[in-house]
């Protein structure tokens, strides 16, 4: 009898709410494990798309089941933070990533979702531009009065690397724009790439010279551009396709296709394969056509991109978390290869999670050498999914097994099957350790007291003594999105921890004071001298003034990534207010219990839900965490989070929408409010500034009146924000 299909193999639109909850938790754990490894790697050639494939299903579930949007800290990152080797450039308009589609139905749902959001009639035509998705390095070029002044990589979406000197060596990047309708300020965005023949020739030269051999054309383009010496970049055959824009003082066209034509008219190369499409069927046919041409192209593509053509509609749709609502990337099917599992290692993460990793005989899949594949958890190794159903037909993975490997979305390596007829007789089922390999403490699978179910992840219980967790916590604290201390990277964290100099975050800021009293100075240690020690102390002092959101993120609270850290910083304003709220909050004991007012306020923040709120409360109610934080705060000056400037009348205000809106959809109303700098909450509290109530408003309206909240009709809201 055939086994029941695994929930993780079901399309999102076929999931029940119960199945979606389980799948949402499984994906959160999987993304979390991969995020730790990704954001601790300083290698500048890691592709941004590596994170898109994991997040796509997670975000699709949240879109299909909005009530599950509770732990988006794992799904709100874009790219990687800027390298320490280059000056940083803050993007005037963030460089966001795209949501992914892997199936035709995803594309059809994308079109339906746009129609729903814009509340369009069935006969209202919707036009898209479809473009080949170049597998290169994203670049933003800033022109002022027609002259190129700055070139920056995507970085983390908000801040990139200044590679202006290097980008000026590319022949396909104009130094001065010529043509009609050139704005005083315009940021042209596109992709730096290397052709396949040039890539092969470069690798042959690199190998002959004993230098680095690149894994694929994308990495070779990124590595070539990130050179300290621009002459090295100039010697590499790099190209540039323009396809988007950032800050513009005026728009030369009112459609995306019109902007592509304008980009070509002012001197940029644009990909000639773009096409206008008028339906989901047209988009899918374009994807199939480009897929057939893929092998014959002289540059790498990893899918196609669909963008709503009308720019005014793009503006209305806005963005969700890290991605625009009006665009999506339709990826190609994964390539597969066969290899052997040489060993299974256990990695201990920052939260104590024990994650198994298969060490493979190196194999090339889709042009990339794959040697390591995450096995997620011990049930996954046994062939059991997060919901208890079989995966891989219930076949377990053993050391010595021959396995089929693919890269999901042409990026994420995963084992999709085991070749049983090649299994060695000596291969035994893998025995997952019940003790932490880093400290020897018991490793347990937590039981959820509300559901009585066992957690899929086994965690080390030695949180205070486990060196793996301590080092990971410190690494996270000094990471790019947190304190980002120049010269204080992974090697320094490991060295200072091993020597007992830095055991907790506060120790970083007392290092100079203690060094002055020490017998053996830092300047006398291996790898340091007077200048490097002085520079490190100066870099530490430069981070004594830190933005609140960076501090919150740096604490390493489970489920609180940089997006949720910003939500908390924006809502509470100060660390003291956040601590007081968390200390006062009472976690509900069951579904009937609503919790007290402090809990309800925390839980009502748009983007924060039960899971995240509980993690925050548990963190701040742990006495040892509060003591460590107090020692840290004694060394810091905490600054308010930097917000985009807004002179709108609702900037900084908290707004709640309720009832039926007649002139816009609920999602469109929320997007408008956030675009104007307002904070959108899901429930009414004393801190609510405006309740926008449409017909059918119920308990929220009553509560708002009781609390003295300013209640507006939809017309009054539109008049207030100047949209009427």
Strands 710-712 vs 690-693: parallel, antiparallel or unpaired: parallel
Given a contact cutoff of 8 angstroms between Cβ atoms, the answer to whether 121 and 75 are in contact is no
> Which residues face 138 on adjacent strands?
191
Cβ partners under 8 Å of residue 517, min gap 6: none
Q: How many residues does the chain have?
A: 724
Has 591 been annotated as catalytic? no
Kindly report the three-state secondary structure assignment for every residue of 250-271.
CCCCCEHHHHHHHHHHCCCCCC
- Write down the catalytic residue from 22, 77, 133, 307: 133
Both tokens of 482, joined, read 């947190």
Both tokens of 183, joined, read 């704005």
Q: What is the DSSP string of 393-443?
A: GG----TT-EEEEEEETTTEEEEEEE-GGG--TT-------SB-TTT--BE
Cβ partners under 8 Å of residue 360, min gap 6: 339, 340, 341, 342, 370, 371, 372, 373, 403, 405
**Helical pair 610-620 and 575-584, crossing angle rounded to 10 deg:** 100
Buried b (16+ CB within 10 A) or exposed e, 495-534: ebbeeebbebbbbbbebbeebeeeeeebeebeebeeeebe
The helix/strand count (H/E) of the chain reads as 25, 26
Buried b (16+ CB within 10 A) or exposed e, 370-396: beebbbbbbbbbbbbbbbebbbbeebe
d(CA 55, CA 31): 7
Which residues are catalytic, by number? 133
């Amino acid at each position: 009898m055939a086994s029941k299909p695994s929930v993780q193999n079901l399309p999102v639109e076929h999931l029940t709410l119960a199945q979606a909850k389980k799948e949402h938790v499984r994906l959160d754990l999987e993304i979390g494990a991969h995020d730790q490894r990704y954001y601790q790697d300083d290698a500048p050639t890691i592709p941004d798309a590596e994170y898109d494939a994991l997040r796509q299903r997670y975000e699709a579930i949240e879109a299909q089941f909005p009530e599950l949007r509770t732990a988006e800290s794992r799904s709100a990152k874009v790219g990687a933070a800027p390298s320490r080797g280059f000056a940083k450039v803050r993007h005037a308009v963030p460089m966001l990533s795209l949501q992914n589609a892997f199936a035709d139905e995803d594309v059809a749902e994308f079109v339906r979702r746009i129609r729903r959001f814009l509340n369009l009639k069935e006969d209202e035509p919707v036009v898209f531009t479809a473009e080949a998705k170049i597998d290169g390095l994203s670049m933003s070029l800033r022109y002022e009065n027609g002259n190129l002044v700055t070139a920056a990589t995507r970085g983390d979406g908000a801040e990139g690397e200044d590679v202006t000197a290097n980008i000026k060596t590319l022949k396909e990047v104009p130094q001065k724009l010529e043509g009609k309708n050139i704005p005083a300020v315009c940021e042209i965005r596109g992709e730096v790439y290397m052709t396949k023949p040039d890539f092969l020739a470069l690798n042959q030269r690199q190998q002959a010279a004993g230098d680095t051999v690149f894994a694929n054309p994308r990495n070779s383009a990124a590595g070539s551009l990130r050179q300290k010496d621009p002459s090295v970049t100039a010697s590499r055959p790099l190209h540039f396709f323009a396809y988007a824009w950032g800050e513009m003082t005026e728009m030369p066209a009112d459609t995306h296709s019109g902007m592509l034509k304008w980009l070509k008219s002012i001197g940029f190369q644009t990909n000639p394969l773009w096409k206008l499409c008028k339906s989901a069927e047209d988009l899918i046919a374009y994807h199939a056509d480009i897929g057939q041409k893929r092998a014959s192209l002289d540059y790498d593509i990893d899918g196609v991109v669909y963008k709503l053509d009308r720019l005014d509609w793009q503006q209305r749709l806005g963005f969700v978390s890290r991605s625009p609502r009006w665009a999506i990337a339709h990826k190609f099917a994964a390539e597969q290869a066969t290899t052997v599992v040489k060993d299974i290692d256990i990695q201990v993460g920052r939260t104590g999670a024990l994650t198994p990793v298969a060490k493979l005989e190196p194999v090339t899949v889709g042009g990339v050498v794959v040697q390591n594949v995450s096995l997620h958890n011990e049930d996954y190794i046994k062939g059991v999914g997060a919901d208890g159903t079989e995966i891989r037909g219930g076949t377990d993975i053993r050391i010595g097994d021959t396995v089929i490997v693919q890269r999901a979305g042409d990026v994420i390596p995963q084992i999709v099957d085991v070749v049983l007829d090649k299994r060695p007789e000596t291969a035994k089922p893998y025995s997952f350790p019940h003790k932490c390999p880093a400290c020897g403490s018991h490793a347990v699978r937590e039981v959820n007291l509300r559901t009585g179910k066992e957690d899929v992840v086994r965690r080390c219980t030695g949180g205070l003594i486990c060196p793996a967790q301590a080092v990971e916590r410190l690494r996270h604290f000094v990471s790019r999105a947190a304190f980002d201390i120049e010269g204080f990277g992974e090697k320094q964290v490991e060295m200072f921890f091993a020597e007992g100099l830095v055991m907790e975050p506060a120790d970083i800021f007392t290092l100079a004071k203690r060094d002055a009293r020490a017998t053996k100075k830092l300047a006398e240690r291996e790898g340091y001298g007077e200048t490097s020690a002085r520079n490190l102390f100066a870099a530490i002092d430069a981070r004594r003034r830190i933005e609140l959101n960076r501090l919150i993120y740096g604490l390493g609270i489970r489920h609180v990534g940089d997006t949720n850290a910003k939500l908390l910083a924006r809502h509470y304003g100060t660390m003291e207010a956040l601590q007081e709220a968390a200390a006062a909050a009472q976690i509900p004991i069951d579904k009937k219990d609503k919790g007290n007012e402090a809990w309800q306020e925390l839980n009502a923040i748009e983007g924060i839900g039960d899971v995240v709120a509980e993690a925050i409360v548990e963190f701040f109610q742990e006495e040892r965490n509060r003591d460590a934080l107090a020692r840290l705060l004694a060394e810091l000056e905490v600054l308010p989070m930097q917000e985009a400037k807004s002179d709108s009348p609702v900037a900084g205000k908290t707004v709640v929408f309720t009832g039926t809106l007649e002139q816009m959809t609920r999602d469109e109303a929320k997007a408008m409010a956030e675009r104007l700098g307002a904070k959108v909450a899901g429930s009414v509290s004393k801190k609510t500034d405006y309740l926008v109530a449409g017909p059918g408003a119920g308990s929220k309206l009553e509560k708002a009146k009781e609390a003295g909240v300013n209640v507006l009709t939809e017309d009054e809201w539109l008049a207030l924000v100047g949209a009427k």
